[in-house]
Amino acid sequence: MKWRRRTAGAVAPGQQLWPVLLLLLIAVLLPTTCLLWFMNRAMTNERLAVRDRLVEVYKGRLIDFRDRLATEWSRQLAELEAAGSAGNPAEAFSRIVSAGICDSVIIRDEVGRLLYPEPGLPSAEPVDLPVEWDEAARLEQDPSQLTAAAAAYGRIAHEAKDSNLAASALLAQARCLSRTGQIPAAVDILTTRLAAPEYRDALDITGRLIVPAAQLRALQLIGDPADPRSTPLVEDLVRRVLDYRDLSLPRGQRLFLMQEIARIAPKRIPARLLAAEKLADAYLGTMPSPATAPSGVVVFPLLLREVWSSERPSELQLVLRPSPVRNVWQVALSRGRLTALFDEESIARYAADLIEAGAPLPDATIQLRSPTRPVDGEEPFLTVPVGASMPEWQLTLYLDESEVIARASHGQQAAYLWIAISAIILIAAVCILLARFLARQARLTRLKSDLIATVSHELRTPLAGTRALVETLLEGRYRNEDQVREYLQLIARENNRLSRLIDNFLTFSRMERNKLAFERAPVSVSDIVQAAAEAVSERFNTPQSRLEVQMAADLPTVIGDREALITVLVNLLDNAYKYTGDHKHVVLRVGVSDRQVCLEVQDNGIGIPRRATRRIFDRFYQVDQSLARTSSGCGLGLSIVQFIVRAHDGTVDVRSQPGKGSCFTVRLPQGPRTARQDRPEGPPASRP
């Protein structure tokens, strides 16, 4: 109890040292913090000055590009206006879109009437259907009468004097034949009979051309684009739908045919033209209901009213404005006759092409940003408005600001940095020297404290047991001579244990003071093994303990200290004995591998956790560090093993699995071979 009270009241070395370490830390941090603050302020001011210069330079370049963009934009709009005033509206639409001037265009006349895309379908001339047509239509409604309906339509086509009626009858006949499964006959009518010149401009009752519809139906019935019959049909259809000079093809039918051809024969229809037709439809579909002027002229009053009523229409019509279609912008030209539509991505690409064609800006990227698109990602370094032609559009300049500014201010900042580093290194060097001195003193103090505590714990148990046995013998409390002999053997065993413990402490002391010297000489490996086995043989002299020695023949010698190498094996064997359960089986293997002598000590003990194997050779380290542990020891045996093996230019490692035992392997460089073969002598191959 007295010992515990003294321990509780003692002041630990760390508690004595922390005020000094705190003062030392303050002595480093205070001047270092001040120096870093001044250096940071100086470098910040330098970066700000460099940034101001960069803003001035890049802003001038942005303004130059803005002027060039305005010029090119005006030129493109003038080109669009000229292209829209030549030819018929459909041809002007095709010419403008194919040239890439805009993504789509709406064309009106001087009073706002829509010219292209024209609304609805042209009205067809009224056709007087004969009575036979009604009868054929009635037959077609009955699936069992489709053959008769086809024949009736054929008779109508043969007898008809009007080309529109004849073509409609042939188309109906082909429809009935295809429904009955007579595909070749239907295809023949669609591709041969309807290909006659008199049917080229024939219209159905809705105003659509019959021949293109027949050709499309023939392609659908053939089904295979690779079929030789498909190629001329596709070529003729493509030629006709792309001929915007042909006003006989209604615009709605043209768009439908373009979509179907693009599906059947991809890449035959220009994607730009098809997208322009769809965009025009989307734009017209979102416009408000038309207002009817007193004269009966249909107009769209929102954008056009502003253009027509403006006192300065030339300025208003060049302004890029948002359209009712999402991400699509519009510009009114020619006093509202032309409404050019631009997709937002197209405008951005147009600006990117202009930027790429101009003088490059090192380390910078210019982008044209739409007002409808929020800033995502990094903030731009610089922003300028595009101007009156593109309200709220901005030219943004992105720059790796930190890298550019750092490169520009590198020289001055480097000077500041070297001054600060030199001062900090000087302060740190002085403090490190003091800290190392204090740490060494604290380490020595801690080692002494650990050594005293460990020695106290490890010596008290065998001394207490020995003292009890001696007192029993002195008082004569024994039954016979056999019991006396047993007590004396126990005393001798505890004495051997104390001797090994004291030897480890002495070895550790010499290791700490670098006073441990080894006598190098050729040593027989079998001699080392025999001596180590004999040293621990008494511990394995029980029915449930077995020490098995497996030694190869013709072993070379090793160069080293015999007693030190014996200590290595004894410590490993003793460690294997202590951490093995009641049924102990320890194997000592000796062999040669890669010109190294390998000594393995394997047990069937409790094993070592993987996390603990990294520290198992540290001084005073034990997996179970509680004072109530079942195994004795002070945590020096394996550290002594490692020290001796490394001093002999060897290595030691461990393989272990919890619950299945451990295997320690010592590898030593082999020495010269002797004339005789080393064979195991002394202890038998196994001890029961």
Instruction: List the structure tokens of 639.
Output: 């550290």
Name the strands in the sheet holding 596-602, side by side, starting at the edge strand that comes first in the sequence. Answer: 545-551, 584-593, 596-602, 661-669, 651-657
Least confident among 22-26, 135-139, 350-354, 565-569: 22-26
Instruction: State the first-to-last Cα distance of the chain, in angstroms, to the nearest integer.
Output: 45
Helix or strand run (H / E) with residue 40: helix 13-84
How many whole angstroms separate alpha carbon 543 and alpha carbon 687? Answer: 9
Q: Strand 104-108 relative to strand 298-299: parallel, antiparallel, unpaired? A: unpaired
Bridge partners, 394 (sequence order) = 369, 385
The identity of residue 459, as a single letter, is L
The identity of residue 266, as a single letter, is P
Between the CA of residue 424 and those of 34, 272, 371, 419, 684, what are the distances in Å? 11, 66, 51, 9, 67
Q: How far is CA 563 from the centre of its chain?
A: 59
The DSSP 8-state label assigned to residue 12 in this structure reads P
b (16+ CB within 10 A) / e for 285-318: eebeeeeeeeeeeebbeebbebbbeeeebeebbb
How many whole angstroms separate alpha carbon 192 and alpha carbon 199? Answer: 11
Least confident among 37-46, 263-272, 309-318, 542-551: 309-318
Given a contact cutoff of 8 angstroms between Cβ atoms, the answer to whether 394 and 385 are in contact is yes
Bridge partners, 466 (sequence order) = none
**For residue 680, pLDDT beyond 50:** no
Given a contact cutoff of 8 angstroms between Cβ atoms, the answer to whether 531 and 523 are in contact is no
pLDDT digits (tens, 9 = 90+) for 232-284: 999 999 999 998 888 888 888 888 999 999 998 888 889 999 999 999 988 98
pLDDT digits (tens, 9 = 90+) for 603-657: 988 888 887 777 787 766 666 544 444 555 566 778 888 888 888 889 999 988 8
pLDDT digits (tens, 9 = 90+) for 557-574: 898 888 888 888 888 888
How many whole angstroms separate alpha carbon 412 and alpha carbon 48? Answer: 13
Rounded to an integer, the average pLDDT of 430-456 is 69
Query: What's residue 438's pLDDT?
Result: 73
Got the DSSP string for 120-135?
A: S-PPPPP----HHHHH
pLDDT digits (tens, 9 = 90+) for 134-168: 888 898 899 899 899 999 999 988 888 888 899 99
Q: How far is CA 540 from the centre of its chain?
A: 59
How many whole angstroms separate alpha carbon 636 and alpha carbon 504? Answer: 7
Q: Residue 197, Cβ neighbours under 10 Å: how many?
A: 7
What dihedral do alpha carbons 195, 199, 203, 209 form, nearest 10°?
A: 30
Given a contact cutoff of 8 angstroms between Cβ atoms, the answer to whether 653 and 665 are in contact is yes
Non-local (6+) Cβ contacts of 292 within 8 A are 298
Average per-residue pLDDT for the chain: 78
Bridge partners, 560 (sequence order) = 521
**For residue 509, pLDDT beyond 70:** no
- Longest Cα–Cα distance of the chain, Å, equals 149
Angle, helix 210-222 to helix 230-241, in steps of 10 degrees: 140
How many whole angstroms separate alpha carbon 604 and alpha carbon 423? Answer: 59
Closest CA to 222 of 214, 71, 93: 214
**For residue 1, pLDDT beyond 50:** no
Query: What's residue 536's pLDDT?
Result: 81
Instruction: List the structure tokens of 421.
Output: 């580093």
Task: Give the residue, 133 or 300, on which the prediction is more confident.
Answer: 133
Non-local (6+) Cβ contacts of 70 within 8 A are 386, 387, 389
Closest CA to 328 of 379, 276, 374: 276
Rounded to an integer, the average pLDDT of 14-33 is 71
**For residue 454, pLDDT beyond 70:** no
**For residue 590, pLDDT beyond 90:** yes
Phi, psi of 632 (to 5 degrees): -85, 170
Phi, psi of 395 (to 5 degrees): -95, 120
